[in-house]
């Protein structure tokens, strides 16, 4: 099972047996982002005729959290492998601490930088507020799951710090894994020292399928040179 993120290069729609998505705009992501650069969305919003990319982004995130909190409806035919990429608290900031709509940027862009007219302290406070909301929704999902379920929560990257040339922080992902005692093994836990072997461990625990473990090696690539691999020092859990 997978969920629509709104960004085609992150979606697993072709591979998933169950692919869930809220109602989407007719235009694709690129077309909607291009439209956001024009006055048209603001004119339509004033007359109640259109949702912005920010509103669609919020709706996808809420849809994913709500579906994850009620997975029992999909488990009648057997166990599920569920993959959900929630693009939040990643910028843009679209929620306050209570889940209400927030908009700081003029136009929608994933990973948008802080607008120059927003003080850093205000932006940091808004980011933390969104993070608190996402944390609360994540905890709600985990509490809704059975104690027999294998659960893995990870970030897609760590702190981006390219101006200092330190790539190691980018690979310091958040990772929290819950494996029931009767499904874990010393071998699996010993190999769960980075994200490299996360899926082999999870698949072994959840389905009993043996996926070979790999060496804990990490590489970094630049957007301009996607095939120029730079080996980084591994960030291993102790």
pLDDT digits (tens, 9 = 90+) for 33-59: 676 677 766 665 554 445 577 888 899
Whether residues 200 and 230 fall in one domain: yes
Whether residues 73 and 190 fall in one domain: no
Whether residues 28 and 114 fall in one domain: yes
pTM flag (> 0.85): no
Whether residues 163 and 222 fall in one domain: yes
**Domain of residue 136, residue span:** 1-145
The token pair at 237 is: 């859990």
Whether residues 179 and 110 fall in one domain: no
Is the pLDDT at 28 greater than 70? The verdict is no
Number of domains into which the chain is organized: 2
Question: What is the DSSP code string of 13-79?
Answer: TTT-SSEE-----SS-HHHHHHHHTSSHHHHHHHTT----HHHHHHHHHHHHHHHHTTGGGG-TTS-
SS3 154: strand
Domain final residue, candidates 145, 174, 202: 145
pLDDT tens figures, 141-181: 999 998 889 999 998 887 776 555 567 777 788 889 999 88
Domain final residue, candidates 145, 176, 205: 145
pLDDT tens figures, 79-124: 888 999 998 888 889 999 999 999 887 777 777 777 888 888 998 9
Asked if 173 contacts 197 with a C-beta cutoff of 8 angstroms, the reply is no
Instruction: Report the pLDDT value the prediction gives residue 237, as an integer from 0 to 100.
Output: 61
Whether residues 165 and 139 fall in one domain: no
């Amino acid at each position: 099972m997978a969920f629509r993120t709104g960004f085609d290069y992150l979606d697993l729609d072709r591979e998933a047996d169950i692919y869930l998505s809220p109602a989407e705009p007719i235009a694709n992501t690129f077309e909607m982002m291009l439209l956001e650069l024009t006055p048209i969305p603001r004119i339509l919003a004033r007359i109640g005729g259109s949702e912005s990319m920010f509103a669609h982004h919020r709706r996808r995130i809420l849809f994913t959290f709500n579906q994850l909190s009620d997975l029992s409806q999909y488990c009648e035919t057997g166990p599920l492998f569920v993959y959900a990429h929630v693009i939040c608290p990643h910028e843009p900031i679209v929620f306050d601490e209570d889940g209400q709509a927030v908009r700081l940027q003029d136009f929608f862009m994933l990973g948008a930088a802080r607008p120059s007219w927003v003080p850093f302290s205000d932006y940091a406070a808004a980011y933390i507020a969104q993070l608190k909301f996402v944390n609360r929704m994540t905890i709600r999902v985990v509490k809704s799951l059975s104690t027999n379920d294998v659960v893995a929560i990870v970030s897609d990257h760590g702190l981006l710090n390219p101006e200092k040339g330190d790539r190691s922080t980018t690979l310091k992902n958040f990772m929290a894994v819950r494996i029931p005692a009767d499904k874990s093994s010393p071998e699996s836990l010993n190999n769960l020292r980075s994200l490299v072997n996360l899926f082999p461990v999870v698949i072994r625990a959840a389905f009993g399928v043996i996926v070979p473990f790999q060496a804990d090696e990490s590489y970094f690539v630049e957007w301009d040179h996607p095939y120029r691999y730079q080996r980084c020092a591994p960030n291993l859990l102790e």
